[in-house]
């Protein structure tokens, strides 16, 4: 009797706990996806609706207009983000994708910066990580520590020297001033080493006994075992570089070479109606990649935290 009562209470308690827990998590989710959802919703509004919605915060240089704004009624004093567009259209998308090709060109710029960095980083990291994880050599520990230090540095720390380096190599205002340093990102080496350390040393030893060279061991034994590691690195490198803003601002002088991220960060009032659709198009590759390679992404992040 008694134990049954406790069980009942326990069951009810755990149900209540689960309900409260789910509600709490759901509330947090609303906060977390708020910017993403709002951006997406606004991308379906007509550019003119967005412009009129944004009126309270668009800074107009015109004194007269500013005075006018202050005399507008209370309800127009603040931007009100409406959850439902008064008219849902694909107008903004049409403008971006077909009518105004410069958006696509900026998107293409982003691709042209990101793709070589991801490819280069994967190849270089795989090679270096093989040495760090499977070979025994004298400077291994101090060199690896140096890589970790490089990995931890904020961008601003190496900004001036990097700028001077790019300048003396004649790379300023060329994509290569961003692509080359990006390819040599130390994080990739660190992450690939974490994945490769799982490969037992005895496998390598046995293959060596059979006369296989290191390149062959890397290609036929280590790489197939680290497939998810490569995917994880590619995803993380893509996300990181797709998001870049500081480097292009400093290294690329021509507006025509800038990636879409820089354009979005400094979007002008005239284009504000299109900004949301452009934002959605810009985050789409990252979101698709996350959904497609969720497992690898999670694994990559988690393995970066396992110490070797």
Partner 1 sequence: MDGINFGRRLLRVFRSDGSYAALFLIPSVAGVTLFFFLPFGIGFYYSLVDTPIDGKLVGIRNYIDLLSNNSFKRALWNSFLFTALCVPINMMLSLLLAGLLNGKVYGQRWFRLSFISPLVIPVASVVLIWQIFFERNGTLNGWLEAWGMEPVDWMDSESAMFIVILIYIWKNVGYNMLLFLAGLQNIPEHLYEAARIDGAGRWGQWRSITIVYLTPTTFFVFVMSIINSFKVFRETYMLAGPYPHQSLYMLQHFMNNMFQQLDYQKMTSAAFLMASTIVLMVLVLFTVERRFNRWL
Considering only residues 24-83, where is the footprint of partner 1 by CB under 8 A? 24-25, 28-29, 31-36, 38-39, 42, 54, 56-57, 77-81
Tokens representing 168?
């003396």
HEC secondary structure over the chain = CHHHHHHHHHHHHHHHHHHHHHHHHHHHHHHHHHHHHHHHHHHCCCHHHHHHHCHHHCCCCCHHHHHHHHHCCHHHCCCCCCCCCCCCCCHHHHHHHHHCCHHHHHHHHHHHHHHHHHHHHHHHHHHHHHHHHHCCCCCHHHHHHHHHHHHHCCHHHHHHHHHHHHHHCCCCCCCHHHHHHHHCCHHHHHHHHHHHCCCCHHHHHHHHHCCCCHHHHHHHHHHHHCHHHHHHHHHHHHHHHHCCCHHHHHHCCCHHHCCHHHHHHCCCHHHHHHHHHHHHHHHHHHHHHHHHCHHHHHHHHHHCCCCC
| In the complex, least distance from residue 193 CB atom to partner 1, rounded to whole angstroms | 11
Going 37 to 43 to 45 to 50, the CA torsion angle's sign is: positive
State the nearest-atom distance from the C-beta of 306 to partner 1, in Å: 7
**Window 244-263: residues binding partner 1 (CB under 8 A):** 245-246, 250, 260-262
Q: Which of 97, 111, 127, 225 binds partner 1 (CB under 8 A)?
A: 127
Nearest residue (CB) to partner 1, 91 versus 181? 181
Instruction: Please tell me whether residue 5 binds partner 1 under the rule CB under 8 A.
Output: no
**Cα dihedral sign for 142, 145, 150, 154?**
negative
Cβ at position 3, least distance to partner 1 in Å? 17
- Choose, by CB under 8 A, the member of 117, 226, 274, 297 that binds partner 1: 297
Residue 147 to residue 188: CA distance in whole angstroms: 10
Comparison of 1 and 238: residue with beta carbon closer to partner 1: 238
Position 301 contacts partner 1 (CB under 8 A): yes
Task: Work out which of 112, 184, 197, 221 binds partner 1, going by CB under 8 A.
Answer: 184
Site string for partner 1, 7-26 (x = CB under 8 A): -----------x--xx-xx-
Cβ proximity to partner 1, 1 vs 170, nearer residue:
170
CB of 52 to partner 1, least distance (A): 13
Q: Is 104 among the residues that bind partner 1 (CB under 8 A)?
A: no
Instruction: Establish if 190 lies at the interface with partner 1 (CB under 8 A).
Output: no
Contact call for residue 90 and partner 1 (CB under 8 A): no
Minimum CB distance to partner 1, residue 87 (Å) = 20
Q: Tokens standing for 178?
A: 């961003």
Span 138-157, contacts to partner 1 by CB under 8 A: 138, 140, 143, 146-150, 152-157
Closest contact distance (angstroms) between CB of 8 and partner 1 is: 19
Q: How far is the CB of 96 from partner 1 (least distance, A)?
A: 13
User: Minimum distance between the CB of residue 240 and partner 1, rounded to whole angstroms?
Assistant: 10
With respect to partner 1, which residue has the nearer C-beta, 1 or 300?
300
């Amino acid at each position: 009797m008694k134990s049954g009562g406790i069980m009942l209470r326990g069951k009810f308690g755990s149900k209540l706990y689960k309900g409260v827990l789910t509600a709490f998590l759901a509330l947090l989710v609303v906060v977390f996806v708020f910017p993403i959802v709002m951006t997406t919703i606004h991308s379906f509004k007509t550019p003119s609706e967005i412009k009129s919605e944004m009126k309270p915060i668009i800074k107009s240089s015109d004194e007269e207009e500013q005075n006018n704004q202050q005399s507008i009624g209370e309800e127009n004093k603040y931007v009100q983000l409406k959850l439902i567009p008064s008219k849902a259209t694909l107008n903004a998308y049409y403008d971006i994708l077909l009518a105004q090709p410069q958006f696509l060109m900026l998107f293409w710029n982003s691709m042209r910066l990101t793709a070589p960095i991801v490819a280069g980083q994967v190849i270089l990291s795989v090679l270096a990580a093989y040495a760090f994880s499977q070979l025994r050599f004298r400077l291994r520990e101090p060199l690896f520590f140096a890589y970790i230090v490089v990995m931890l540095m904020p961008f601003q720390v190496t900004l001036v020297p990097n700028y001077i380096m790019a300048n003396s190599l004649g790379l300023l205002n060329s994509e290569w001033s961003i692509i080359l340093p990006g390819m040599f990102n130390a994080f990739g080496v660190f992450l690939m080493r974490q994945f490769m350390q799982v490969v037992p040393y005895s496998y390598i030893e046995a293959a060596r006994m059979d006369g296989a060279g290191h390149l062959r061991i890397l290609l036929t034994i280590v790489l197939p075992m680290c497939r998810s590691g490569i995917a994880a690195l590619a995803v993380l490198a893509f996300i990181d570089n797709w998001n870049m803003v500081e480097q292009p601002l400093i290294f690329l002088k021509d507006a025509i070479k800038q990636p879409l991220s820089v354009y979005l960060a400094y979007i002008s009032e005239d284009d504000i109606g299109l900004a949301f659709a452009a934002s959605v198009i810009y985050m789409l590759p990252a979101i698709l990649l996350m959904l497609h390679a969720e497992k690898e992404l999670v694994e990559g992040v988690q393995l970066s935290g396992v110490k070797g």
